[in-house]
Structure 1
Amino acid sequence: MQQHLIQCIFLASCLKLCTGSEWCYESQHNCGSPCNVPEKWGHANENCFGNAQSPINIVHRKTLPDERLTPFQFKYYQHSIEALIKNNGHSVQVNLNKDAYVNGGHLEMPYKALQFHLHWGRNGGPGSEHTVDGEQYPMELHIVHIKEKYSNLEDALKDSTGVAVLGFFYEESISPNRKYEPIIKAIRNITAPGTNTPLVDLSLEQLILPPENMTNYYRYLGSLTTPGCTEAVIWTVFEKPIYLSKEQLQEFSKLRFKDDKPMMANFRPVQPLNNRKVYRSGGAVVVASAILLVASIAMVTGLSQPD
């Protein structure tokens, strides 16, 4: 018992004292490889101590219906990506060089797709960045878009609404998702940090659900979820998850961080909502349903009135 207590005290001291100038995830930190874990990211970039940080826990009953959150229009999402998928040392990322863009969804103008990356847990365990009612999904996809008028992310981040990220949850299924086989095959070739390989036979449309199943989503204003944590992101988090098998989810944990540790639990914990509001799509549907219900009650009441 005493030895266990000494070990705990040592580990606590290690977490407090062993810090470095680089940022990392909690799963990477130890005294042999000091770095700034998520709670200390502000030491790497002060923006990370801001008041409008991402990700967040979305409490569904507290979200506000907004009829302006109409369905998105996805342009050229069906085109083949033809790009490299890279192990960038903290995730897998694909930089997009096509003309795919999105509009609608109460975005003020079209936003062009710039890149996508993912965050996951340990061997298919909880690993999404956003949570809903406290539930953490196994993985989360982020498709990063910037306003059409900007040529790069750096310029877009100078605009408080310059970036729009579409977030998608993953859930475990019994059978594999065949549409994801190009990614699963590709990441087997990039387990080492800094490596890349061509991504073929894949489109953005394959990654996400059909548009008709993407009408339910949450919206809030937040930040990038890695340093510099810039607060210039319009977040859209879709309710309906994408399904992958346990084996497919586990493939991502075979990658390695830039310090050569297993790339697991590469997610930032949820951040305080503070005074921000979270909205949900379907406000118009809710209002229409309420009107229809009132009309139906009135009609039934009228029919039941005595002559």
Structure 2
Amino acid sequence: MSTIIPPHLYLWIFCEDCILYIFSLVVLLLAAYYFSKLPRKPHPLRLYGYSYHNGPHEWPRHFPASAGCKQSPINVDSARAVRLDSRASCRPLLWRNRECLPNAYTMLNDGRKVALIGTWAAPNMVPEVTGGPLGSAVYRLVGMHFRWGANDEWGGEHTLDNRSFPLELQMLLIRQDFATPKDALASKEGNSMTMVSYFFKIAARDNPYLDAVVLNLGRIRRPGAKHCLPPFPLDWLAPPFSSRFFAYVGSLSEPPCAEVVIWILRFTPQLHISSRQLHQFRILLSADGPITRNSRPVQLLWGRKVFLYK
């Protein structure tokens, strides 16, 4: 004989299920709210960048050194620069091993810029520089990277008499007593690194010396992508010079913005790049989308001197 369940008992069971469902939903919503308020560690590629949410105005939150008084880049006021005759007051810049070809270059999209890192067959074949503002210290090449902007009017980080340049090539060198850039940063010494910058202007025709880089940018479109380039002379991208440059003490122009850099700026003569070639840099991607710009605004000098080596 089957048992007849009273209608009010069905209602009670239904109400119990509804209460359990609502309770579970409330618990899930509360948990979601709680976890949304927990501090999150940003993805390394998003920790800093050049967008609104992680651009230079946000860097001091994560990188206190970026609020220091010896920050880079700067505007160079040529009329106020301290003029030095490199032949009379100090040694001119002296380059070594520039004729030594690397085994290869690795071109990298690190999510913010294009970097070129060479590997040489032996340590005594790596390009070096000394003299000028570097004194007797010798600095060894680590790599090069490019800075550009959203249009052909600006993009380089440093400016000369408030004039912008569409592209800046920065060579990073570390003092030879350091094994790696990380060691140089850890030293916190104001001259543990040097940056040598070259500046470009727009030309009607392509610059064939940039082809090795520009024609392969499509291979590193996504952040983290790498591509191996065959060896080519360093002079193709960065011609040697010994005088006619500006120098000052500053910092890395991107986080951690450590104030450990002697900057050497070669504003003239400018190198050439076509508008078509420059556009190829802007198709590269970061974690936030196309890298249309990767330059930090100029920083205050705070009493620092800029020197012109004639």
**Normalised TM-score (structure 1):** 0.79
Q: Structure 1 residue 78: deviation in Å? A: 2.7
Task: Please say if residues 179 and 206 of structure 1, whose CA atoms lie closer than 8 Å, have aligned partners that are also in contact.
Answer: yes
Task: Please say if residues 128 and 267 of structure 1, whose CA atoms lie closer than 8 Å, have aligned partners that are also in contact.
Answer: yes
2:210 aligns with 180
Pick one of 84, 98, 110 that aligns with 2:138: 110
Pick one of 57, 69, 76 that aligns with 2:97: 76
Instruction: Provide the C-alpha distance between the structure 2 equivalents of 1:125 and 1:199, rounded to a whole number of angstroms.
Output: 29
Instruction: Provide the C-alpha distance between the structure 1 equivalents of 2:168 and 2:90, rounded to a whole number of angstroms.
Output: 21
Q: Deviation digits for residues 206-228 of structure 1, max 9, x if unmatched?
A: 112353xx521101000000111
Q: Deviation digits for residues 114-134 of structure 1, max 9, x if unmatched?
A: 111111012434101000111
SS of the counterpart of 1:136? coil
Instruction: Provide the C-alpha distance between the structure 2 equivalents of 1:162 and 1:95, rounded to a whole number of angstroms.
Output: 19
Equivalent residue runs for 1:124-139 within 5 Å = 124-139=152-167
Task: Please say if residues 69 and 281 of structure 1, whose CA atoms lie closer than 8 Å, have aligned partners that are also in contact.
Answer: no
Instruction: Provide the C-alpha distance between the structure 1 equivalents of 2:295 and 2:91, rounded to a whole number of angstroms.
Output: 29
Q: Structure 1 residue 136: deviation in Å? A: 0.9
2:280 aligns with 251
Pick one of 100, 109, 127 that aligns with 2:127: 100
Look up the equivalent residue of 2:281 and give its one-letter code: F
Q: Structure 1 residue 251: deviation in Å? A: 1.1
How many correspondences in the alignment?
254
Instruction: Give the number of the structure whose alpha-carbon radius of gyration is greater.
Output: 2
Task: Please say if residues 144 and 166 of structure 1, whose CA atoms lie closer than 8 Å, have aligned partners that are also in contact.
Answer: yes
Q: Deviation digits for residues 87-144 of structure 1, max 9, x if unmatched?
A: 0000011223331111122313110001111110124341010001111100101100
CA 1:40–1:69: 2 relative to 1, 3 Å: farther
Pair 1:270 & 2:298 matched: yes
Instruction: Provide the C-alpha distance between the structure 2 equivalents of 1:123 and 1:110, rounded to a whole number of angstroms.
Output: 37
**Cα RMSD between the aligned structures?**
1.8
CA 1:258–1:238: 2 relative to 1, 3 Å: same
| Identical positions, percent | 28
Instruction: Provide the C-alpha distance between the structure 2 equivalents of 1:177 and 1:262, rounded to a whole number of angstroms.
Output: 24
Look up the equivalent residue of 1:162 and give its one-letter code: S
Task: Please say if residues 146 and 168 of structure 2, whose CA atoms lie closer than 8 Å, have aligned partners that are also in contact.
Answer: yes
Q: What are the ranges of 5 or more consecutive residues in structure 2 without an aligned counterpart?
A: 1-40, 121-125
2:8 aligns with none
Task: Please say if residues 186 and 198 of structure 1, whose CA atoms lie closer than 8 Å, have aligned partners that are also in contact.
Answer: no
Moved more, 225-234 or 238-247: 238-247
Equivalent residue runs for 1:8-27 within 5 Å = 22-25=47-50
Look up the equivalent residue of 1:45 and give its one-letter code: F
Instruction: Provide the C-alpha distance between the structure 2 equivalents of 1:167 and 1:198, rounded to a whole number of angstroms.
Output: 23
Instruction: Provide the C-alpha distance between the structure 2 equivalents of 1:172 and 1:201, rounded to a whole number of angstroms.
Output: 26
Look up the equivalent residue of 2:110 and give its one-letter code: N
1:40 aligns with 58
Following TM superposition, the consecutive aligned residue runs of length 4 or more in structure 1 with deviations greater than 4 angstroms are none
Task: Please say if residues 95 and 240 of structure 2, whose CA atoms lie closer than 8 Å, have aligned partners that are also in contact.
Answer: no
Equivalent residue runs for 1:1-307 within 5 Å = 22-25=47-50, 28-29=51-52, 35-67=53-85, 68=89, 70-81=91-102, 82-98=104-120, 99-107=126-134, 108-157=136-185, 158=187, 159-211=189-241, 215-240=243-268, 241-259=270-288, 261-282=289-310
Q: Structure 1 residue 253: deviation in Å? A: 0.7
Q: What are the ranges of 5 or more consecutive residues in structure 1 without an aligned counterpart?
A: 1-19, 30-34, 283-307
Instruction: Provide the C-alpha distance between the structure 1 equivalents of 2:156 and 2:91, rounded to a whole number of angstroms.
Output: 25
SS of the counterpart of 1:234? strand
